[in-house]
Amino acid sequence: MALDRREAVQRLLADRGEMLVVSGLGSPTYDVAAAGDDDRNFYLWGAMGSAAPIGLGLALAQPAKRVLVVTGDGELLMGLGALASIAAQRPANLAIVVLDNERYGETGMQKSHTAHGADLAAIAQGAGFPVAATITDEADLDRIVGEIRSGQGPMLVVVKITAGEAPRVLPSRDGVEVKNRFRRSLGL
């Protein structure tokens, strides 16, 4: 079973409170923007493999704020080493949600390693994440949303999603603008 990507992200970000969100390139960014553009969204453009490390740095720099990384399986696969660094640092305020359609969506929908058996939750658990899970249905998603918003991290949740395309919702692609408005939202 698999969930609709856009609907899953909408559920994750509904009633998000003050949570800071880092979105991986491509579809995760489109989905986060579709759920509601917000100054506390940090959209990545052309930074393959960087969402989790940026989330780690943000969680360490802002320990009083909840940080959510929303990324894809292909993007996380490019930076698996970050999982070991995150586990070693153990930021309690960090959650990573991996939207796993088992495809490299930005380069033509070729099968990713997860389509061939790579288990990202098991990799995170092996790296030392205290919470790592894979969910495949709406009931599981509803159960985990509260933990993502306020549970002890670091945590990684793989959400199995369908491989379909949703209309693109493009937030600003101006990196300076995205950075400046994000910094302003933090009072920096």
Return averaged pLDDT per consecutive 10 residues of the chain, 188 residues in all. Answer: 89 93 92 94 87 97 96 90 96 96 66 77 96 93 90 93 75 82 87
Q: Are 134 and 161 in contact (CB under 8 A)?
A: no
pLDDT for the residue 107:
64
pLDDT for the residue 39:
94
Fold of 5-185: Rossmann fold (3.40.50)
Report d(CA 57, CA 107) in Å as an integer.
28
Q: Are 103 and 163 in contact (CB under 8 A)?
A: yes
Report d(CA 55, CA 126) in Å as an integer.
20
**pTM for this structure?**
0.90
